[in-house]
Structure 1
Amino acid sequence: MGFLQTLKLFAVTLIGAIPLGLVVSFGSMSRFTPLRWLTRTVVWVIRGTPLMLQLLIIFFIPGQRLGSSPWPSGESGRFLAAAIAFIINYACYFSEIYRGGIQSIPVGQQEAGLVLGMTKKQIFFKVTLLQMIKRIVPPMSNEIITLVKDTSIARIISLQEVIWAGYAFLKGSHGYSGLTWPLFFTGVYYLVFNGGLTLLFGRVEKKLDYFK
């Protein structure tokens, strides 16, 4: 159960945060000053406060203010709240990586594209985006590996992820008390999971070497 919840939270966060982060990065680079400053302020707040605090606020505060919790009861409600908190948090981190990658592409390449008659959309997707992907793979891989470990924070709202499941054996929730080996097993799980991701991102970087 714990392993499946961890994998689901990891996958849902990536599916939501990767595209949302790109949208947020456009807001951070917008020429419309109010939008740019609003977006950067939100990113600053999210990146400057602990994910655990954000998770607690999203899960508990709406219920206190509205009189009843907006989240479904049981495990599904806790998972939904955790997913939203993780998506918002990681979208803000990803947005800064996207922004750095986009702004690292020389302006001269965009000017050359305009001279050749390309539209701004064509320049972004055919020139800027492909080069940006190669440059952001290392920092993105670091954030994604961090995400694997951060899923353990969801236990603060009693979401039954891997660490929660391992700790349950220690405190006797499954009819056994004082068992420590499940906690070490959760560590092995994270090591194997992150080891697989490290190998995957290493192969992706090699595939993108043609942009050198």
Structure 2
Amino acid sequence: MSLDYITSILGPMLEGAQMTVLLFLIAIITAIPLGFLLTLAVKSSFKPLSFLAQGYIYVMRGTPLLLQLLFICFGLPMLPVVGEYLVLDRFVAACLGFVLNYAAYFAEIFRGGLLAIDKGQYEASQVLGLNKWQTTTRIILPQMFRVALPAVANESVTLVKDTALLYAVAVPELLHYAQTAVNRDFTIVPFFVAGLIYLIMTLVLTVVFKVIERRFKFE
């Protein structure tokens, strides 16, 4: 296939990639803080809140993301009484689904990071005369994020690839334009181009997290 053909399909596919990147940014910026709040809720001494957070994480991690997206996009409007008020723009609904799903995964990652911190750190903080706030912000959280960072990076790469699920809820993203070109031109070249674009995005993200990891190690 000629270079001219690749150039002709590259424009629309890069337009779709912009939607992919936008969804990723919204999801990652929102899901990480929400995941951390869920972690705090799970560890809360207020048992009803802890059980509720654990139940939420179990449901979101135990059901497919695609099912959750379909429910938010098409299921919520079908609910009796309140359904008419829950009709969302497809992209907004997809963002909501991704944020709610990935927050549960990040919550488990952060919980694992907290569990990895030796109890001696808490005891040492008390010996140094640090209060609970100082212990949490200066000692515990930096170590938790250092431990959790590789898993967060891996989950973020997975998020980039999962954005292809937008195709299932009729949001025009990278895979949508690739499939359109394949159906129109009867060639699989657009799939290879789409794969290359995904690889470039994940490569950039991997490099960014590697830089962040090196910075955390030497701080």
Question: Aligned AA for 2:16?
Answer: G
- Contact preservation (8 Å) 1:16, 1:87: yes
C-alpha distance in structure 1 between counterparts of 2:180 and 2:131, whole Å:
58
Residue 158 of structure 1 is matched in structure 2 by: 170
Structure-to-structure mapping, 1:27-176, within 5 angstroms: 27-65=41-79, 66-68=82-84, 70-72=86-88, 77-172=89-184
Contact conserved, 1:71 with 1:80, CA < 8 A, in 2?
no
CA RMSD of aligned residues (A): 1.4
Report how many residues are paired.
203
The residue identity in structure 1 corresponding to 2:63 is T
Equivalence for 2:208:
200
Q: Deviations over 1:64-93 (max 9, x none)?
A: 114536335xxxx11100000000000000
Judge conservation of contact 1:59–1:78 (CA < 8 Å) in 2: yes
Q: Supply the distance in 1 between the matched residues of 2:208 and 2:62 (Cα, whole angstroms).
A: 30
Higher alpha-carbon deviation: 111-120 or 189-198: 111-120
> Which one has more relative contact order, counting CA pairs under 8 Å at least 6 apart?
2
The aligned counterpart of 2:27 is: 13
TM-aligned CA distance change 1:67 to 1:34, over 3 Å: closer
- Which range is displaced more, 8-17 or 30-39? 30-39
Matched, 1:26 2:40: yes
In structure 1, C-alpha distance between the alignment counterparts of 2:137 and 2:29, rounded to whole Å = 20
User: For residues 94 and 187 of structure 2, what CA distance do their matches in structure 1 show?
Assistant: 28
Offset of 1:132 from its aligned partner? 1.2
User: What is the rounded CA distance, in whole Å, between the counterparts of 1:92 and 1:45 in structure 2?
Assistant: 9
What do residues 38-57 of structure 1 show as CA deviations (whole Å, max 9, x unaligned)? 11111011101100000001
Once residues 9 and 47 of structure 1 are traced to their aligned partners in structure 2, the CA distance between those partners, rounded to angstroms, is: 20
Q: Identity percentage over the alignment? A: 37
The one-letter code sitting in structure 2 at the alignment partner of 1:183 is F
Alpha-carbon distance between aligned partners in 2 of 1:35 and 1:69, rounded to the nearest angstrom: 27
Runs of 4+ in 1 over 4 A off after TM superposition: none
Return 5+ residue gaps in structure 1 as ranges: none
Instruction: State the SS of the aligned residue for 1:31.
Output: coil
Aligned to 2:192: 184
Structure 2 residue runs without a partner (length 5+)? 1-14
Separation in 1, partners of 2:122, 2:162: 38
